[in-house]
Structures are given as C-alpha cells and as structure tokens.
Structure 1
Amino acid sequence: MKKILLVEDDHRLSQSVAAALEKDGYTCVPAYDGQMALKAFQQDTYHLVLLDLNLPKMNGIDLCDRFRHMNPAIPILVITAFGDIDSKMEAFETGADDYLVKPFHLKELQAKVKVFLKRAEQPAAAEPVLQLPDIRLDPNKKVAVREGKEIHLTPKEYSLLEYLLRHKKRIISKDELAMNLWDANYGVTHNTIEVYINFLRNKIDKDFDKKLILTKPGFGYYLNDQRDEL
C-alpha cells in the first residue's frame, strides 16, 4: 500500500484530502506543522509528499529543500494558496515536482496523485549516459558531472539540462522548453524560462572557463560542443 505524507495545517482540509485518498486505497499520514512533518519524514518511508507552504514552526519551502536532500527521488506535490509566479518558481527551484493552487477540486488532486504513484511503481529501463566532452549526465542516477565535479541540480534544472543534451544537435526555443518541461496549468512565460536557464548556468557554467549553454538571439538555446555551424 502506498504511503503519503500529507503536510497541511488546516485540519478540516487535511481530513478531507486524507479521506479521498484513503478511499482510493492509499495510506495518508497527516502532519500539521513543519517540525511534525520533518520528524515523520525522518522516521518512515513515503511514496509521495503533499506539502502546504504556509506552515507553523517550519515553512514549506524549507521543508521541501530538506525532503529533497534526504530523498532526491520522492515526488513532492505542493498544495498552497500562494498562486503567484514567484512562489511557484521558488517551489520548483527548491525541488517540487508539481504545484496545485487552493482552492482545488479533490478529483484533480486524486488524478495527480495517481499519476505520480503509477509512474513511481514502473521500473524505468536503463538509459544511456548523455554527454559532451565537458559534461556527463546519467539519467538512471539523475547525476550531472562536469570535469569530474558533481553538480547538484534541482529537478527542474536537471530536466532542462537533460532536454538540451537530448537535443544537442539543434537550437531549442523557449516555447519548446515551456511546452515540454512545464505543466500546461503553470502559465510559464519566456521570462520564467530565462530565469531557470540562468539558475542552470550558475551551476554548470559559472565556475568554468568554457561556457556550455549558449544563446542564439531571437531563436533559443543550444549546447556548446565546439561546432561552428550554429
């Protein structure tokens, strides 16, 4: 039976969500503040975290960061009343996998939970390592290494780098990145794409002489594999 950590300080909402998910056959463990959630996460194994951001004792962003470092693979779905773009970007940058704004329909939440848990139970086939002369990405371990140094990436940064590497022979537009790497309900803008590209550049390019992520103005981004035709 799949176990879900439900971090929500609104007791009535927590009970409603837990009842709906338990009806679907899942086990829900409630936590009503940040410290309670962190202790529960440390003491047990979960298949999914549902995480509010506005919590007493420890906020959801700090919790998301702690959860992500303790278990890089666990899906984290943020559920919050904060629907502004800055809050969404901060959550994704910290390691959230998806974002649901209150008020929401329980059926929408149930559908998202089903997708996350179904995806997690399907063993992925081993994938070939993606690489250029200066960087190596292992899709099986979700690890990026440049010049022998492991680069710690958030899930969104990793997805960006993986997409660029998988399509390294061409220029990738911002619209293509938005369509393939963001949920349709997220409302991602070109400015948001630029922000995330800068996040990624700060981690894989800042401390190195050769810059890997290049921009072709008016067209998009491509990886520097020492070709001149771009």
Structure 2
Amino acid sequence: MSHVLVIEDDEITAREIALELAAHGISADRVNDGLQGLQRAQEPIYDAITLDLMLPGMDGLTLVTQLRERGIRTPVLMISALGDVNERVRGLRAGGDDYLTKPFAPDEMAARIEVLLRRHRQEPSAQTRLRVADLELDMITRIARRGNRELTLLPTEYRLLEFLMRYPGQVLTRAMIFESVWGLRFDPGTNLIDVHIARLRRKVDIDGEPSLIRTMRGSGYRLG
C-alpha cells in the first residue's frame, strides 16, 4: 500500500484528502504546520506528499525548496487557494511536481496522486522512448511513429501525445491534461482539449488500425 504525507492546516480539507486516498487504497498521515511537515517529509516511508502552500510555521514554497535542496525527491502535489498562473509556476519551479487549486474535487486530487506515484515508480526521466502497442515516441528526435508510419505532429499535439503516453491505460482527466499540456488552470467551458484530441486521434488512429486514444465519458481520456 502506498503511503502519503498530508501537510495541511485545515482539518476539514485534510480529512477529505485522507478519506479519498483511503478509498483508493492509499494510506495517509497528516501534519498541520510547515516545520513539522518538513521534518516528517524527510522520513523514507512516504511515497508522495500533498502540500498546502499557506501553512503556519513555514510556507509550502519554502518547505518544498528545502526538501529538494536536501535531496528529498518524494513527489509533491502542491495545493493552494491561489489559482493564478504565476503562483503555479513558482510552485513547480520550487520543486513541486503538480499543482491543484482549492476548492478541488477529491477524486481529482486522488487521480493526481496516483499519477505522481506511478511516475515516481517508473522514473520517466531516464526514458528516451515511449511505446504503447505499435505507437512509439522518440523524445530525443521528437519523432512519433505508429508501426512504419511517421506522424506529423504540431508542437501542442506532440506535448499532448507525450503526456498520454507517459500514463498508458490510465484515465487522465481534462483538468490534468489542460494543466500539464497548456500550463493553465482548467476552464470547464472550453472545448480546447476535445478539439486537439480529435486532431491527434485522426493522426494516430487511421482506417484499419485499432483505436488507441479512448474517450472515457464523464472522466477524460485514456491511451491504450
């Protein structure tokens, strides 16, 4: 069972996080201030961390910066009531692995934690090629192929395909895709993701080939 450290000073939010993680088979410990969080986060028993940015004792940005300076690579999901793009960029530059804005849906939070856990186990930074079925992406040459057919991808299509291929078989929500590929907070009113998925699907899945990009209604998309 994976073990997550929840660093959150709001008791209701911390309880919601712990209950949702438990529903996904993930155990959680909670601390409610930054100084204690920094101490606990250095323990090797945790597979991931949820980190509120606004904490007593030590703020989340300082905490994650100190963790990275000390060589602690545990993946961190940063959580904040501040939803502007600059705040998100600061959090990720400080060493956070993902960023979620309050208020959030508990299942969205759990999905992001599961992605971080999977990414950490696979150590994707060491990968130079991604493969799903007969679809292959060379991240050095930035060339994608399906079988013997080379795909001509625009820059956004390439980033979208790379993100999907990093997590084969896993449902990725629209919010996760939007923030990872476009670097922006998801707007439920936009159809930008659907338009780009449709364009990418026309290049990846042509007549006679099994469909690899699947729409999971009400949830998001899955590759493979």
Q: Indicate if the aligned counterparts of 2:42 and 2:67 stay in contact, CA closer than 8 A.
A: no
Structure 2 counterpart of 1:37: 37
Structure 1 counterpart of 2:95: 95
C-alpha distance 177-82 of structure 1, shift in aligned 2 (>3 A) = farther
C-alpha distance 118-37 of structure 1, shift in aligned 2 (>3 A) = same
Structure 1 counterpart of 2:178: 184
C-alpha distance 174-119 of structure 1, shift in aligned 2 (>3 A) = closer
For residues 103 and 48 of structure 2, what CA distance do their matches in structure 1 show?
21
Q: What stretches of structure 1 of length at least 5 have no aligned partner?
A: 129-162, 190-230
Structure 2 counterpart of 1:138: none
Structure 2 counterpart of 1:211: none
Per-residue Cα deviation, 1:1-42 (whole angstroms, up to 9, x for no partner): 211111111011101111111232212111101001011123
Letter paired with 1:5: L
Shift of 1:81: 0.5
Q: What is the root-mean-square deviation in Å for CA atoms of aligned residues? A: 3.2
For residues 113 and 86 of structure 2, what CA distance do their matches in structure 1 show?
24
C-alpha distance 70-125 of structure 1, shift in aligned 2 (>3 A) = closer
Q: Indicate if the aligned counterparts of 1:61 and 1:91 stay in contact, CA closer than 8 A.
A: yes
Structure 1 counterpart of 2:48: 48
For residues 154 and 23 of structure 2, what CA distance do their matches in structure 1 show?
43
Per-residue Cα deviation, 1:126-171 (whole angstroms, up to 9, x for no partner): 657xxxxxxxxxxxxxxxxxxxxxxxxxxxxxxxxxx6x5449xxx
C-alpha distance 70-185 of structure 1, shift in aligned 2 (>3 A) = same
C-alpha distance 68-126 of structure 1, shift in aligned 2 (>3 A) = closer
Q: Indicate if the aligned counterparts of 2:41 and 2:49 stay in contact, CA closer than 8 A.
A: no
C-alpha distance 176-70 of structure 1, shift in aligned 2 (>3 A) = farther
Letter paired with 1:188: G
Q: With structure 1 as the length reference, what TM-score do the two structures score?
A: 0.56
Secondary structure at the counterpart of residue 4 of structure 1:
strand
Structure 1 counterpart of 2:63: 63
The within-5 A match list for 1:1-230 is 1-71=1-71, 73-122=73-122, 127=127, 166-167=141-142, 175=156, 179=160, 183-185=177-179, 187-188=182-183
How many residues end up aligned between the 2 structures? 153
For residues 52 and 60 of structure 1, what CA distance do their matches in structure 2 show?
6
For residues 103 and 64 of structure 1, what CA distance do their matches in structure 2 show?
21
Identical-residue share of aligned pairs (%): 29
Secondary structure at the counterpart of residue 30 of structure 1:
strand
Q: Indicate if the aligned counterparts of 1:51 and 1:78 stay in contact, CA closer than 8 A.
A: yes
For residues 43 and 125 of structure 1, what CA distance do their matches in structure 2 show?
23
For residues 59 and 125 of structure 1, what CA distance do their matches in structure 2 show?
28
C-alpha distance 96-173 of structure 1, shift in aligned 2 (>3 A) = farther
Shift of 1:88: 0.6
For residues 127 and 185 of structure 1, what CA distance do their matches in structure 2 show?
22
